[in-house]
Amino acid sequence: MQPLETGEPTAVGPYRLLGRLGSGGMGRVYLGRSVGGRTVAVKVVHPHFALDEEFRARFRREVDAARRVGGAWTAPVLDADPEASVPWAATAYAAGPSLAAAIADTGALPLHTVRVLGAGLAEALTAVHALGLVHRDVKPSNVLLTVDGPLLIDFGIARATDSTASLTSTGVSIGSPGYMSPEQILGKGVTGAADVFSLGAVLTYAATGESPFPGDSSAALLYKVVHEEPRLGSLDGELRELVRRCLAKDPDGRPAPEEVARTLAPEGAARPVAAGWLPGPLVEQVSRSAVHLLNLEAAQTPASGPVGFSSPSVGSGTGGSTGASSGGGGSEGLAVAGVFGPPPVMPSDRTTGVPEPRRPETPERAAPGKLSVSVAATSAPGADGRGRKVSCTVALAVAGAFAAVTVGSVFAFGFLGDDGAHDDASSSENQSDPSESGPEASAPADGVPDTKRIVPEKYLGTWEGAGYALNGKLPAGTFRVTLRQTEVGGKLGTFRSTDLIGGVCDDVLVLKKVTAKQIVATSVADKDNPGVCTTGEHEVRLIPAGEELTYETDNAEAGDPVARMARIK
């Protein structure tokens, strides 16, 4: 578990936040405590997803599905507000690692543990299917290992078996490569048999430490699930045969979850769990986590005060079941109840509800490339001696591009390939007409030889304008580009993004080529940027548009931002 950073909320609804358990593409999960002292895992979605009505519908469905299931071997939802400006949900907290974290730390599980794990998950799926739901995302990171038994969590994409609505958005995958069933990948009708396929893959992973469909890319994983036989490794005997049936390509050839449960634990999973089902190292880890939790106190509230997202809309947060809870797999061995990400609240304009971009008054350090609705904090002395100015950083997390393998509503792939709209025909040897560069001094002050001064004068200078991400749907603050004369491979200039609440990211632009229509550069993130900024390199295109300059970039993590900029000097 990580401590709260300056600028992160200290309260959500009625819950004090004690630390950050984990994060992912959808939001962040925090460890929280109710007024009555109950420990919960609070899932808060990324603010930019709150602007997406389809995502809100998906989140509502997750809360509804989890509340309906809420039985043995699942983590109950205690409180939620899917209608809040930034939706959130609180689930019971479990002191225990995810299956993925446990395998990474200690390796494959003993046969006895695997059998109890399979029986508990099969009983959970029996309850889910009895409600007419399909979980659709059974995978190692959605399985928690607690002393009181395994827990199936994260009903984020659970769907009624008769539902045909497509609730997806660009960059969001419905399922997990390597654990999805063939029918999910192919976009066919999905029934409870899909969860049984995923269960077979999870049990293989638990028993061998490896997925039955190994691969180094999403495309390879998806292809293997559809076309190749699973690798069952050291599995043998009755368990091997059961897993082989679960992983049948034909849904009709798979056993029902009730049969899986009876085969693995004829008298039910509760009895072997009560007798002790986890191996010693995991029991030790869970015990340490529990002790740590008891000693944990809420951090002192920063000078900015708590950030309250909303009031609760489901339950009181202090009552309800005292069953196991879901947490996050951090350094203390805690596990995350699902994987949702960053929480900050974005200040909004009174009329439009969209935050107004704010230009920095001084050229501070910024964070590169990563288009971030950033919660950066800077300290300045104030009248009370505390004087801390806090802004919330929310880095845009757009799912990485998957290689295309399927169609339909199963996956929403983000393609980064050239769509032919950009003029890349000219090579770096075919640079722009030298006449566009204007007269050069024989001994230029910038040190660039006359023969290599290839950047047309019309590009040089500092440009600034409003940036937008996600196809222009999400305001991204202010972009500033400063361009100078250089040669191919040299430093063309700098890029700075200042998000809606003052967070800054810096990149260096390296000239790649100049064509008759545009400049193409490589944007390299500054290694000293804050963690909220994207890292690495991505392509940038600068295209004249009358007296202005258009900025485009292939940076999926930041939402492929664009900007129309005017020259300011």
Q: Please give the structure tokens belonging to residue 138.
A: 């059974």
Among residues 79, 160, 178, 158, which one has the least CA distance to residue 402? 178
Q: Please give the structure tokens belonging to residue 314.
A: 């489901």
Give the Å distances, CA to CA, from 259 to 152, 212, 246, 262, 396: 18, 21, 11, 5, 43
Q: Please give the structure tokens belonging to residue 186.
A: 């192919």
Q: Which helix (H) or strand (E) holds 279?
A: none
Active site residues: 137
Query: CA torsion, points 199, 204, 209, 213, in degrees to nearest 10?
Result: -90
| CA count, 13 A, side-chain hemisphere, 295 | 7
**70-92 burial: b if 16+ Cβ within 10 Å, else e:** bbbbbbbbbbbbbebebbbbbbb
Among residues 439, 537, 432, which one has the least CA distance to residue 487? 432
Among residues 393, 372, 376, 367, which one has the least CA distance to residue 508? 367
Query: CA torsion, points 140, 141, 147, 148, in degrees to nearest 10?
Result: -90
CA dist., res. 561 & res. 355, Å (int): 17
43 assigned ligand-binding residue: yes
Q: Which residues are annotated as a binding site for ATP?
A: 43
